[in-house]
Amino acid sequence: MSNWKKALLLTLVTLAIGAVYLFVVFEQRSTPGPTNPSSSEPTTTADDLAVVRAMMLTTYDDALKMQGITVWMKNGYVMPYYAFEGGHVVFA
């Protein structure tokens, strides 16, 4: 078998493998993937609607102004929270 016949055979095998690969990829991409019809409308949470204003507390009087105001902390889930009821902290 001469060199040009070996090269031709190798080229034909490579083209056949490439054609099979392209056919498989085309068939896979032509079918739609899983769809979720309930997620057509985006949902917003209270955290998405929150307006964040940075407050720098320098004195005790500044902290007293925050009494009764709901606050949001960036590191809220990192820090432990203990309720304050009846004049003392409830650790349970």
Residue 51 to residues 26, 27, 74: CA-CA distances in angstroms? 47, 48, 12
- Of residues 17 and 41, more confidence is placed in 17
Q: How far apart are CA 66 and CA 72, in angstroms?
A: 12
User: H-helix or E-strand containing 88?
Assistant: strand 88-90
Report whether 72 contacts 50 (CB < 8 A).
Answer: yes
Q: What is the pLDDT of residue 46?
A: 77
Task: Decide if 41 is inside a domain.
Answer: no
User: 59: domain range?
Assistant: 3-31+52-90
pLDDT at 39: 59
Is 66 a domain residue? yes
Query: What's the CA angle centered on 71, arms 56 and 76, to 5 degrees?
Result: 95
Residue 11 tokens, joined: 């080229």
How sure is the predictor about 26, in pLDDT bands with cuts at 50, 70 and 90? very high
Q: How many domains does the chain have?
A: 1
pLDDT for residue 13 is more than 80:
yes
Any domain includes 43: no
CA distance 46 to 67: 21
Q: Look up the pTM and report it.
A: 0.36
Q: Flag whether 61 is in a domain.
A: yes
pLDDT digits (tens, 9 = 90+) for 29-87: 888 777 766 656 777 887 778 777 777 888 888 888 888 887 777 666 777 778 888 88
42 occurs within a structural domain: no
